[in-house]
């Protein structure tokens, strides 16, 4: 998780872009994301994900939501989704909010 990780050109490690409010949650994010890379478009993601730049395969997601797995499967696309996570901290919920 904390080790130095070199990403291929035109990509970044998604885990390094996530900034949780409490550092204790970093391990949970790493468990889910591992060394998934993020890049601009599907062409770059495919080249990186399928190892055409040197043989090593990576799990790659694009900014539009396309996902390239190390097995070679490609999924996603469609409309970009937003609003799934909030950067605002919520300390407690009322009973009505829970319902």
What mean pLDDT do residues 9-23 have?
A: 89
For 5, which DSSP code?
-
What range does the domain containing 2 cover?
Answer: 1-75
Q: How many domains does the chain have?
A: 1
Nearest alpha-carbon partner for 62 in 33, 37, 35: 37
Per the CB < 8 A criterion, the answer to whether 50 and 35 are in contact is no
The pLDDT confidence band at residue 57, using thresholds 50, 70 and 90, is confident
pLDDT value at position 77?
A: 64
pTM confidence score = 0.68
- Asked, for residue 81, whether it belongs to a domain, the answer is no
CATH of the domain at 9: 3.30.70.1620
Asked whether residue 84 is domain-assigned, the answer is no
Asked if residue 7 has pLDDT above 80, the reply is yes
Distance in angstroms (rounded) separating the CA atoms of residues 69 and 79: 20
- Helix ranges restricted to H, the chain: 14-17, 26-33, 42-49, 95-98
State residue 38's pLDDT score.
95
In a domain, 94, yes or no: no
Q: Is 93 a residue whose pLDDT tops 80?
A: no
């Amino acid at each position: 998780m904390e080790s130095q990780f070199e990403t291929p050109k035109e990509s970044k490690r998604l885990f390094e872009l996530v900034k949780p409010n409490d550092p204790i949650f970093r391990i949970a994010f790493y468990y889910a994301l591992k060394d998934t890379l993020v890049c601009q478009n599907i062409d770059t993601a495919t080249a990186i994900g399928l190892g055409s730049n040197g043989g090593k395969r990576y799990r790659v997601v694009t900014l539009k939501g396309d996902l390239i797995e190390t097995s070679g499967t490609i999924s996603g696309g469609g409309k970009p989704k937003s609003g799934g996570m909030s950067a605002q901290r919520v300390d407690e919920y009322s009973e009505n909010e829970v319902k």
